[in-house]
Amino acid sequence: METPIRNDSGITIKKVYSAEDAVPSAPNPGTFPYTRGIQEDMYRGRHWTMRQYAGFSTAEESNKRYHFLLAQGVTGLSVAFDLPTQIGYDSDHALAEGEVGKVGVAIDSIEDMEILFDGIDLEKVSTSMTINSTAFILLALYAAVARKKGADIAKLTGTIQNDILKEYAARGTYIYPPAPSMRIITDLFEWCSINMPKWNTISISGYHIREAGSTAAQEVAFTLSNGKAYAKAAMDKGIDINTLGKRLSFFFNAHNNLFEEVAKFRAARKIWAETMQSLGATDPKAMMLRFHAQTGGSTLTQQQPLNNIARVTLQALSAVLGGTQSLHTNGYDEALSLPTEEAAQVALKTQQIIAFESGVAETADPLGGSYFVESLTSSMELAVNEIMAHIDEMGGSVRAIEEGFMQEQIAQSAYKFQREVEQQIKVVVGVNKFQGAEDPEPTLLKIDDSIRDLQTEKLKKLKSNRDEQKAQQCLNAIAQAAINGNNLMPPVLDAVENYCTLGEIAGKLRNVFGEYRQ
């Protein structure tokens, strides 16, 4: 008897599919529940936004990379921040040693942010910032720089990740306990709805959940459950679900199993549309799941890194066939270091070849109607809904995270996958099979530890030149707003404009909210 084949989400894959396996055809693209895409014509009208996630070393060096990418044809910027910036420490803090500028750009103050976007018209470029526990500070810095440039912040477009729940579940760059963290997020929702209405105030991320080892079904289920938690928290604050829904976006991973990934994206749109409808949304745009995709960092191999170009191409194709609104393609050398300029260029050209040479952008939902894809989409929907129902029974995402449910499920899936690689049940080309000769080691991008010295010197100059009394008044106003329950964004914006640093602001709130320890 033939051994059944199951994908990583546990869905059995049949030998052959026929019309009786496929659910009745979903409505056309652009119609509820948007399984086939959120626009009627999808990429015939406009290609997805081609972003390249970039940021390293100093603001000066990252600014050079942004200008290079814009010249190569990227249509949106995506900013990576270093670890100290992500967890609320200035570059001169003792805990920042060895990490400044390593996995992203170091941003300590408005001066760094001004340099980062020097020569870039913020009203004309869409910017995505991958930042969570300090997202409100980075958005304030971005708005402050835009105002200094004379831009109307109401016209700014882009996305701030601002998704703290997945940090507790999968990634770990949290600062404050869940309750005050959720309060900060909804403060940002409320402030942006008035001051930056075109800005996407959260990118609810499954990417890092998948990177930590989840299956595709778990990635969608945990992400959409987190989305429900944010929507309910915003509604509790009095924010209209239709207003909020139009500013929510999602961030998913794209892995190697082409058809599983396409089915995942299609199922996610349907489930989210039905979820928002159940929460009271009536505006069609508030029910549409808009998402950014990034190719899978955890799938890249140190061995034979040029193989990663093929992996990234497959993953990018799955995101496009699945209907993404924007896409980042990883550099082939990212299992070894931050991407070199050459690798970033190859990654971008991969998107451009898919867009302009493959033909997949010429029709909406090219795989719609495929017996296999329609059946797999339906099976993925069932698998995701089963997990989400269990989380609902537990009391929602916050409770599921507090009880360790998501973390345990991700860990089990990661362990299972690793065991199957070690036992050669799963083949990873160039790693556990088809090793052959190693590729010549590529030239790597190395970040010098002297970056910390440069940033420390900048901080000294900034603090010696600012109005110290005014800076301290601003920091005290932030603490008072935190205690009183007032929206934190106005005093934070005032503080960054008066040269308070990211670390000072985050530290002031550490004193009020405390730190979360698992």
Interatomic CA distance for residues 316 and 52, integer angstroms: 13
E runs forming strands in 19-139: 49-54, 76-80, 126-130
Q: Which residue has the tokens 């570059």?
A: 91
Per DSSP, the residues of 301-353 read: -SSSTTHHHHHHHHHHHHHHHTT-SEEE---TTTTTSBPPHHHHHHHHHHHHH
What is the rounded distance in angstroms from the CA atom of residue 95 to the CA atom of residue 100?
Answer: 10
Closest CA to 338 of 445, 450, 449, 211: 445
Residues 6+ apart with CB under 8 A from 501: 90, 108, 109, 459, 462, 463
> What is each CA distance from 60 to 63, 117, 240, 438, in whole angstroms?
5, 9, 40, 35
Q: Report d(CA 161, CA 170) in Å as an integer.
A: 15
Give CA–CA dist 384/401, Å, rounded. 17
CB 368 within 8 A of CB 26: yes
- Which pair of tokens denotes residue 474? 């601003």
Nearest Cα neighbor of 303 from 438, 421, 423 is 438
* Closest by CA position to 247, among listed 356, 162, 121: 162
* Residue 339 tokens, joined: 């991407």
The DSSP 8-state label assigned to residue 423 in this structure reads: T
The tokens for 234 are: 């915003």
Q: Determine the 3-state secondary structure of 201 from DSSP.
A: coil
HSE-CB of 287 using CA atoms within 13 angstroms? 20
Q: Write out the two tokens for 267.
A: 């199922």
Q: Which residue has 């400044």 as its token pair?
A: 100
Contact 318, 357 (CB under 8 A): no
pLDDT, position 346: 96
* Bridge-based pairing state of the strands 248-254 and 126-130: unpaired
Mind listing the pLDDT tens digit for each residue in 415-438? 999 999 999 999 999 999 998 776
Query: What pLDDT is stored for residue 1 in this prediction?
Result: 59
How many Å apart are CA 271 and CA 287, to the nearest integer?
10
- Give me the tens of pLDDT residue by residue for the chain, a chain 518 residues long: 567 899 999 999 999 999 999 887 678 999 999 999 999 999 998 999 998 777 778 999 999 999 988 998 888 888 999 999 999 999 999 999 999 999 899 999 999 999 999 999 999 999 999 999 999 999 999 999 999 999 999 999 999 999 999 999 998 999 999 999 999 999 999 999 999 999 999 999 999 999 999 999 999 999 999 999 999 999 998 999 999 999 899 999 999 999 999 999 999 999 999 999 999 999 999 999 999 999 999 999 999 999 999 999 999 999 999 999 999 999 999 999 888 889 989 999 999 999 999 999 999 999 999 999 999 999 999 999 999 999 999 999 999 999 999 999 999 999 999 999 999 999 999 999 998 776 677 777 777 778 999 999 999 999 999 999 999 999 999 999 999 999 999 999 999 999 999 999 999 999 999 999 87
* CA neighbor of 42 nearest in space, from 305, 363, 289, 367: 363
- In 3D, which of 86, 57, 76 has the Cα closest to residue 162? 86
What's the pLDDT at 54?
75
Compute how many other C-beta atoms are within 10 angstroms of the C-beta atom of residue 457. Answer: 12
* Rounded Cα–Cα distance for residues 198 and 218 (Å): 30
**Given phi > 0 = left and psi -120 to 50 = alpha, else beta, which region is 88?**
left
Instruction: State how far the Cα of 458 lies from the Cα of 96, in Å rounded to an integer.
Output: 15
The pTM score is 0.91
H-only helix segments in 251-303: 258-278
Q: How far apart are CA 73 and CA 470, in angstroms?
A: 43
Give the whole-angstrom CA distance, residue 20 versus residue 282. 34
- According to DSSP, the residues that pair with 367 across neighbouring strands are none
Distance CA 305, CA 224 (A): 33
**CB neighbours (10 Å) of residue 424?**
10
In tens, the pLDDT along 338-351 reads 888 899 899 999 99
Tokens of 362: 């010429």
Q: Residue 115's CB: how many other CB atoms inside 10 A?
A: 18
